[in-house]
Structure 1
Amino acid sequence: MRILAIDYGIKRTGIAITDEMQMIAFGLTTVASDTAIAFLKDYFSKEKVVLVIVGEPKQMDGTPSQSAEIINAFIAKFKATFPEMPLERVDERFTSKMAFQTMIDSGLNKKQRQNKALVDEIAATIILQDYLRYKK
């Protein structure tokens, strides 16, 4: 029984997943945002996911960011498609910066760090790791 995290963006959506025991978060993939629901339908048919975490982008003052409207539309579509799936929101204020720093710390070269899909996947993983840490 896994927990899945989504870093939803205008173009790309990073997806991370836990192991069966919900101890470790790791990047799963990045998909085009307009295919995210189809990807999730397929994934949920193969894997037992008990909770979905969606990043909630906020400004420094705590107000919703400009992408909040797009993410809220995705969540409405998600809930209509998967009405039984529990969904929680998690503050994702610094995850993209942290993902980029993680790539630097991991020794990835400049060309690899320009891979925005990888940044999104790492950001989703950070969102999920934060959730797991908070849950304990």
Structure 2
Amino acid sequence: MGRIIALDYGTKRIGIALSDETKTISFPRPYIPASEKRKLLTFIHENEVEKILLGLPKALSGKDTESTTKTRSFMVWLETETHLPVEFIDERLTTKEAMKLETDRELIDSLVAQKMLERYLDKISN
């Protein structure tokens, strides 16, 4: 039984959260520097990931931003390299939620990923 990974992609860091095997609990994991994104492939393989959730940054109005375009390019790279299904997930407001829990910027990226994964796991369990 594989796991689900959620990613908060940024130009400096990739925040990571990983589900348990039963897909009921999410755990924040240490971020990976975006410049070392190939390490993410090893992490995905070692943790037997079967699905990737990728936070899609959009303006609150719902319009695409420069970050949206970069994230879409990262998604193509992920699909090509992993041959796994990649699903976009709305990440609007997750950063604000994570900042309420943590002030260390280096931890926030993975907490954002965890919030996205929690929402997804709640959705599939209902």
Same fold (TM over 0.5): yes
CA distance in 1, matches of 2:43, 2:13: 17
Q: What is the deviation of 1:127?
A: 0.7
Residue 88 of structure 1: how far off its partner (Å)? 0.6
RMSD, aligned α-carbons = 1.2
3-state SS in 1 of match to 2:5: strand
Among candidates 118, 125, 131, match of residue 114 of structure 2: 125
Counterparts of residues 21-100 of structure 1 (less than 5 Å): 21-36=22-37, 38-83=38-83, 85-100=84-99
What do the CA deviations read for 1:55-103 (whole angstroms, capped 9, x no partner)? Answer: 01111111123301111111111112112x0111100001111100122
Match of 1:109 in 2: none
Structure 2, unaligned runs of 5 or more: none
* 1:102 maps to 2:101: yes
Q: In the aligned structure 1, how far is the partner of 2:34 from the partner of 2:44?
A: 17
Counterpart residue type for residue 36 of structure 2: T
> Normalization by structure 2: what TM-score?
0.92
Q: Which has the larger radius of gyration?
A: 1
Percent identical: 30
5+ long unaligned stretches in structure 1: 104-112
- Aligned equivalents of 2:92, 2:50: Cα separation in 1: 25
Shift of residue 48 of structure 1? 1.2
CA distance in 1, matches of 2:45, 2:52: 15
Contact 2:6 2:116 in 1 (8 A): yes
After the TM superposition, which segments of 4 or more aligned residues of structure 1 sit over 6 Å from their partners?
Answer: none
